[in-house]
Amino acid sequence: AGPSLTAALPILATFEHKAALFGCGSAITALSHAGTTPHFCIAVDPNEEEFRRLKQSTFFEVPFLYSTRLHPHVFSTVNGPFGYLRSQFGDVLQLWIEEELGLKDPLIGHYLSSESISVTSMAVAAAEFLGCNPIVLVGLDMAYTKNQRYASSVHVSETPKDVSKKTSLASDRLLIKKDQKGKKVYSAVRWVMESSSLSHYAKLHPQTRFINATEGGIGFKAIPFVPLEKIAEEFIQEYD
C-alpha cells in the first residue's frame, strides 16, 4: 500500500468484477477503507505492525492466504476461509510441519529470488500459479513517495526520518534513488532488492504479461509501466 495507491483506489473499484484482486498486507486495510473488496487477502509478516495494520481492516469474510511466518494475533482480525501458502521461503521448522501434515505439493514461488521475501512477491507467485495473465502491480512504490511510506487510508505515518531513528537493520537502510519520472526519492535496501527480484521473476515467465501500474516509486527494469486508466480499457468483460 504505497502512497500512490491512494489515487488508484477509485479506478481499482471498477475492476472488482473484471479481474482477480489480491490485497497484500497493508493494502488490505487501504482497500477496506475504500470499500473495494479483494478476492484474496494475503499476509505473511511476523511483526506486531502487521497485526496493528490488519486490525484496522473491515474485511472479515474474504478468503485469507497466509504462511507460517504470520503473526498469530492476525487470525483474531478475520474469520476466513483460510488458505495456506506453501512457499520456498520457509525454514527447517516450516518444512518439518509441512512434512508432518503431508503437504507435499510443489512450492509456490519456486522461481523467486531469495532476495525477495515479501507479501507482494508471494502474491505475484500465487497469481502466476493460478494462471492469472496479465499480472498488474498497483501501489508498489518501493519508495517514500512524498516522504511517506503508506497510502493515506492505512493511517500509519512513517517518513524516512522516522526509519533512520528506529532501526539499524541493513535491509531498512535508506538509499537515494531516482523514481520513474527521474526525480530523487528515498528508497531502502529491501525495496531495491524486491524490485530486482520481481524483474528477474518476470523474465523467467515470458508467457505471462507483467505490468507496473504504480504511478510513483522506483519501478522495475523488466516490467513496463502502463497507467491504470489505460489498463482499465482492456478489462471489458465482467464476471460473477
Profile the chain (240 residues) by mean pLDDT over runs of 10 residues. 92 93 92 90 88 85 89 90 82 86 82 76 92 96 90 75 67 88 91 92 94 94 95 90
pLDDT at 46: 86
| Sequence-ordered list of residues with C-beta below 8 angstroms from that of 57, at least 6 positions apart, any chain | 28, 29, 32, 77, 78
* pLDDT in the model for residue 72: 92
Report which residue type is found at 100: E
pTM of the model: 0.88
> What's the pLDDT score for residue 209?
96
Residue 158 has a pLDDT of 73
CA distance 82 to 61: 10
Please name the residue ranges forming H helices in 55-188: 92-100, 119-129, 160-166
- CA dist 62 and 46 (Å) reads 20
Which pLDDT score, from 0 to 100, does residue 113 have?
73
For 112, residues 6+ apart whose C-beta sits below 8 A from its C-beta are 88, 89, 121, 125, 197, 201
DSSP single-letter state for residue 170: G
Q: Which pLDDT value is given to residue 124? A: 93
